[in-house]
Homo-oligomer: A and B are copies of this chain.
Amino acid sequence: MPDSFERSRPDLFDLRRTGIDPDYWYPLAWSGEIRKGKATGRHFAGEPIVLVRGESGRVYALEDRCAHRQVPLHAGVVEGDCLRCCYHGWTYDMSGRCIDVPYLGKDKLPNGVRAYPCQEKEGLVFIFPGDAARAEMTPLPVLPSISDPAYRTRRFGREVACHYSFMHENLIDMNHQFLHRKQMGQIRPRYLGHDAGEDWLEVRYSFARTAGRQPLGERLIFGTREGKAEPNDSLMTIRTDYPYQGLTIDLKSDRVMQLWIVYVPVDKDQKRIRTFGLLSVKKPRAAFLLHAAWPLLGWFTERIFSEDRWIVEQEQKAHDALGGNMNQEPFPVIRALQDLLARRGRLLSF
């Protein structure tokens, strides 16, 4: 039995207390949530951030604490492209500069608040929480094209009470299909291999139905499949492209499904995340079929997602109760993924 089967020593390095690398673009909201003339408060890893869409329609992001008395700016009033604090009326422009304190002369204006680089793409509002100087050279992630007419895309997301690493590991280890036995019938994944680079890891599976009737939701994603599949005609690829994650399904080299997802830490301890996901499904030749089945597909994915959410929250709770990692992990892909997430993360101080 290999060494790695030994239970880890909880006093050593702990992946679940590793902070995510802030020098990437992270979504904090769907574009539709940030309405013109409104300010919305969000959090990234414990930092309060206010998202504002002013008169011009452009979204910007500031530290969500007035420089005066630290009260939330998202309770303030949007004036043009500026934001006025609700308490004493201190006012900030898009760059976070304080441009007005009603009871002070303009020559005595105090320090302002931090601004975060902010961009919108494919209906998501991204901010760059790390070193702003690195924002421009850091590309936004590649997203499934919502405008491609061959696919239909579903947005989804919610809060999950766990460290982001549990989410990455959950998705990449397809051996957990037993968890979804009620939704996924008797699909049996087969590990085909994996590759890794400096900041990515990709694992491939084939899958076959071993028994049972195919549920309707599964049929929509995978198509109707009679008998056992041959490894060559089905391919599921799951890839962590730090800090994002993706999953694609190809049937006979035809991409029938594509998922993009990211897990954004909400609190300082990074034990809660908000997910933002885009799920693109190829339209069948008779497109109205997908249209008719769309609500069912939503139900199907929500059920699977809620099972995953429940189990990763159980993992977080067990980790909290044990005060460290006690896992024994026989699957090399998970160990490689944990190395990658640890390597790219930042030490959290508790």
A138 contacts chain B at the CB level, 8 A cutoff: no
Give the number of chain A interface residues (Cβ < 8 Å).
44
CA distance A103 to B48 in the complex (A): 44
Chain A residues 7 to 39 lying within 8 A of chain B, measured CB to CB, are 7
Q: Mark A79-90, 1 if CB is under 8 A from B, else 0.
A: 000001011110
Closest to A72 in B: B314
A327 contacts chain B at the CB level, 8 A cutoff: yes
A154 contacts chain B at the CB level, 8 A cutoff: no
Main secondary structure of the interface of A (DSSP, over half): loop
In contact, B110 and A71 (Cβ under 8 angstroms): no
A175 contacts chain B at the CB level, 8 A cutoff: yes
In contact, B175 and A102 (Cβ under 8 angstroms): yes
| Contact (A71, B330) CB under 8 Å given A88-B176, A176-B88 | no
Q: How many copies does the complex hold?
A: 3
| Contact (A328, B68) CB under 8 Å given A1-B108, A110-B1, A111-B5 | yes
Enumerate chain B residues within 8 angstroms of A175, measured Cβ to Cβ: 88-89, 102-103
In contact, A86 and B328 (Cβ under 8 angstroms): no
In contact, A328 and B87 (Cβ under 8 angstroms): no
CA distance A175 to B311 in the complex (A): 50
Enumerate chain B residues within 8 angstroms of A318, measured Cβ to Cβ: 65, 69-72
In contact, B70 and A104 (Cβ under 8 angstroms): no
Enumerate chain B residues within 8 angstroms of A87, measured Cβ to Cβ: 176, 178-179, 311
A292 contacts chain B at the CB level, 8 A cutoff: no
In contact, B330 and A86 (Cβ under 8 angstroms): no
Closest to A64 in B: B318
Most buried by B among A1, A65, A319, A328: A328
Enumerate chain B residues within 8 angstroms of A111, measured Cβ to Cβ: 5, 7, 328
Enumerate chain B residues within 8 angstroms of A69, measured Cβ to Cβ: 315, 318, 327, 329
In contact, B110 and A315 (Cβ under 8 angstroms): no
In contact, A71 and B315 (Cβ under 8 angstroms): yes
Enumerate chain B residues within 8 angstroms of A110, measured Cβ to Cβ: 1, 5, 328, 330
CA distance A328 to B109 in the complex (A): 11
| Contact (A178, B86) CB under 8 Å given A110-B1, A315-B69 | yes
Enumerate chain B residues within 8 angstroms of A328, measured Cβ to Cβ: 67-68, 110-111
In contact, A314 and B103 (Cβ under 8 angstroms): no
In contact, A68 and B329 (Cβ under 8 angstroms): yes
Q: Shortest distance in angstroms between A87's beta carbon and chain B's nearest beta carbon? A: 5
Q: Mark A315-343, 1 if CB is under 8 A from B, else 0.
A: 10011011000111111000000000000
A241 contacts chain B at the CB level, 8 A cutoff: no
What would 16 A/B residue contacts be, using CB atoms closer than 8 Å? A1-B108, A1-B110, A5-B110, A5-B111, A65-B326, A68-B328, A70-B326, A72-B318, A84-B178, A86-B311, A88-B173, A88-B175, A88-B179, A89-B175, A108-B330, A110-B330
A69-B329, A103-B175 known, 4 other contacts, Cβ within 8 Å = A70-B326, A101-B330, A102-B178, A108-B330
